[in-house]
Chains A and B, each alone.
Chain A
Amino acid sequence: MRIKGGALVVGALAVALTATGCNATTNEGGSGDSGEAKTQSGSISYEAADNTGPAKAVDGATKGGVITVMQVSDFEHLDPARNYVNVQQLTGNLIYRSLAGYVEDGSGKMLLVGDLATNPGTDVNKDCKVWEFKLRDGLKYEDGSAVSSKDVAWGIARSFAPELNEGPHYIQQWLYPGGGYNATYKGPYEGGAMPAGIDTPDDKTIKFTFAEPHCDMPYAAALPTSAPVPQAKDTKGQYDLKPFSSGPYKVKSYTRDNALELERNPNWDANTDPIRTAYPDGYKFTFGLEQQQIAERLVADAPADQASLTWGDTPPAVLPRTTAANVANRVAKGPTQYVWYLGVNNLRIKDKKIREALYYGLDRDAALKAIGGTSAGTPASTLMSPTTAGFEAFDVYNAPPTGDVNKVKEILGGTTPPPLVLAHSNTALRTAQAEAIRASLVKAGFQVTLKAIESTSYYDQVGRKNNPYDLYLHGWGSDWPTGSTIIPPLYDGREIADEGNNNLAYFNDDSINTEIDKIRAMPAAEQDAAWTALDKKLMTDFLPEIPAYYDATHELYGSKVGNAYLSDAFGALQLNKIFVKQ
């Protein structure tokens, strides 16, 4: 998915991220470039042991205390129908449970298991078209009433409402393929009809029937849209403020833009939950501090802040102070599922030689230094992120991180490359980065003009098919960790429209399009290796655009925070098993 414009406006807003993980095939992958990267391994597990509560205890963990999460901005939405941003999902996970979820322990071994459901979804006919979920026994809401599969159906139905359209729409689109996801069905509020393709034969069962095969359904079921919302508790637009709890915590108080406090939901039964340990007695989310202040406070580790953490990246100004031993052991750092590309407009730069020259001309170190150095990312040589299932670190062109001017000259062979326009969002960070990139390309012999675009309309502008720019920086992260949410949206040429494009390379090749269709029809278990192979083919034969760097995160936490690790699924500190050291 695209990093949204609004995030760029405020700078430090939570980067929009979602699931990372791996597929049923237990593939291994690793990033040669990122020293921090864990070996990515994970799977969709149907093993009873993995799918049964309670969650595996953490050594030395104690119950009690309150974890404080310090954030720059308030959440936009906690309503499960509107919850799409990674930190909102991490928070939502404490309050409500989806059909499926990720069991994580920070070791890189992540399992997609059933959360409300007893398993991550049964492919009834083995054709990925009919998926059935059976709810666990003993699931209760905060008022003690039982969770029904009909509430899950209501939750999904309401996510079709145009008024609640901010969440992910995979299941919705699969139920209503062709055209907009809610072009036909607009939610249950007008007339009360439920969406076609969802059946709830009894209170424990929910069945989805799709026209096309969707082997990714277990991943889609882990998104918040499948959280149960009882119709009687549906406060529509106000549901954001107080989602009805089916998880270990419920909303105690929520003052917008100031603080959200969660307290225990006494009706949550640990034995029904294989994912959450719920050690703290509560959580407090505070909003309104600048990221620099948050980082300063966490570095200082004053007694009042020792049980605090942040999901924001440590700003460059504070980074030097995080290397002291007593701070370094309170840093969580690692790659996210985002890759940043130097997008090349293939409609304007048709010659692969020029793109190759650009690949060598780009000084990736300089581009990173402009935004904070290695804590901000590591040089990239693949189109897919190291967090993707089946990821394989390869480097077709073997360019040094600082670029190779001689190689550029060799490729160009004395010809003069066309003058290039590099567009960038006008935020301070992106402007600095664009200048660094321009400098490196100019050094390599290109003629580059910068074009700053208002940050909120940046992706609109470069997303227009006939845009007048040759180069532009853009980032992309998957909604779940398979190539299926990376390669097709970015490089399927049939998706190119007049505007609103994700395929910013405007790359269109029939052989690639055919290959995409072929991989999509494969069983989930075989897809990962195929996407990696396609990544390699794209890089070798076409080089549609220039991978610049893999995004990384660098988050601080206080000395009393126990079991703090980056979520493999969300690329930020995971709260499900965290505890307060006593």
Chain B
Amino acid sequence: MVRFLTRRVLVGVVTLIAISIIVFGLFFAVPSSPAKVMCGKNCDAASIAQVETRLGLREPIVTQYTKFMKGIFVGRTYADGTAFERRCDAPCLGYSFRNDEAVTTILSRTVPVTISIVIGAAILWLLIGVSLGMVSALRRGTLFDKLAIGISLTGASMQVFFFGLILLFLLVYTTGLLPFPSYTPFTENPAKWAQGLILPWVTLGFLNSAIYARLSRAQMLETLSEDFVRTARAKGLPLRRVYTKHALRAAITPIVTIAGLDIGASLGGTFITETIFGLRGLGKETVEAVGFLNLPIVVATVLLAAVFIVVANLIVDVLYAVIDPRVRLS
């Protein structure tokens, strides 16, 4: 287990370094310079040069990259030896090109938003989707099953922006039943936190639960045809126990895997949901940063998204080993 974790963490770190190099490389392959975006209205050559110097973009890419990596591990000093000198302690991800804010500050503000959206929505989609799928598998062919399939087919083919806008239109613009979504930190006011996020939760939760319902139904049907389910019945176990203990346990395993990876990927940013509901999470931050060629934020958010995926993979693997005794972590 320790060896497994050590190896996975090492692989993760190497992956992240590779990603950071790729992001850096791609970034500098873009024909435009961020200075041209950041110089404001004074985009003459002299101003651009000044901005590029200030942002450190005049240095060789390798130097810029080395400094960036150094900043992450030991911190770095910007504008060394000038009146604008400032120390950026590790883990230093630099400052936003656009408004000079520390990237770590930006992340500490945007990450909780995305995490709140994803966690809330995931709870919804797992609860609704999985139970709907399981029940429909058990009642295969009944009206309930057909309805559930129909709804989930509709849901799965619907897009976040469409469903989200409809909800906004019905519940916010027209009737005013709900306030426009907003983010309040959970620690500040849990009720407001939930109230402000209910729409994105429902939107993302409903659409994903459609996918999960279909997935769970298929998994459950497959599991129900397994020999060990027949064995459980042959033992004389009541059906309820056969389903909830024997079948569910096995059917849920691949769902845990997919849910883990889905959640990991979602944590990297739910751009469309965030945009529709005006919530500044990681996704919106990233896309905007790309638009502004805001390198420090782009690198940081891409890396963070990668971290989420790497960690999600790790958690899924560990969970898998916990759920399925046949799986060995090695």
Contact = CB atoms under 8 A, between A and B. Distances in A.
Interface of A: 1-2, 4-6, 9-10, 16, 73-74, 76-77, 82, 84-85, 162-163, 165-169, 180, 182-183, 189-190, 236-238, 240, 255-258, 287-290, 293, 296-297, 299-300, 302-305, 454, 456-457, 459-460, 499-500
B77 to A, nearest CB: 14
Given A9-B291, A240-B100, A500 B43 contact: yes
10 closest cross-chain pairs (CB), A and B: A189-B83, A166-B40, A289-B278, A456-B32, A162-B50, A457-B32, A9-B291, A300-B173, A180-B46, A6-B37
B99 A296 contact: no
Given A257-B280, A289-B278, A5 B36 contact: yes
B41 A84 contact: yes
A183 B46 contact: yes
A460 B36 contact: yes
B176 A302 contact: yes
A479 to B, nearest CB: 9
B293 interface: yes
Interface in B19-63: 31-32, 36-47, 50-51, 53-54
Contacts of B101: 256
B31 A163 contact: no
A4 B32 CA distance: 13
A189 B84 contact: yes
Nearest to B50: A162
B282 to A, nearest CB: 12
A428 to B, nearest CB: 13
Contacts of B168: 293, 296
B275 interface: yes
B311 interface: no
Nearest to B95: A237
B36 A74 contact: no
Given A16-B41, A74-B99, A6 B292 contact: yes
Interface residues of B, number: 49
B43 A9 contact: no
A237 B100 contact: yes
A292 to B, nearest CB: 9
Interface in B87-145: 98-101, 105-106, 109
B193 interface: no
B284 interface: yes
A474 B210 CA distance: 48
Nearest to B54: A163
Contacts of B291: 9-10
Contacts of B285: 257
A2 B276 CA distance: 31
Contact of A256 (B51, B99, B176): B99
B151 interface: no
A476 to B, nearest CB: 12
B47 A165 contact: yes
B150 interface: no
A304 B179 contact: yes
Interface in B258-291: 275-276, 278-280, 284-285, 288, 291
Contacts of A5: 32, 36-37, 43
A169 B288 contact: no
Contacts of B280: 257-258, 287-288
Contacts of A4: 37, 40-41, 43
Given A76-B98, A257-B280, A459 B43 contact: yes
Nearest to B275: A290
Contacts of B172: 297, 300, 302
A457 B37 CA distance: 9
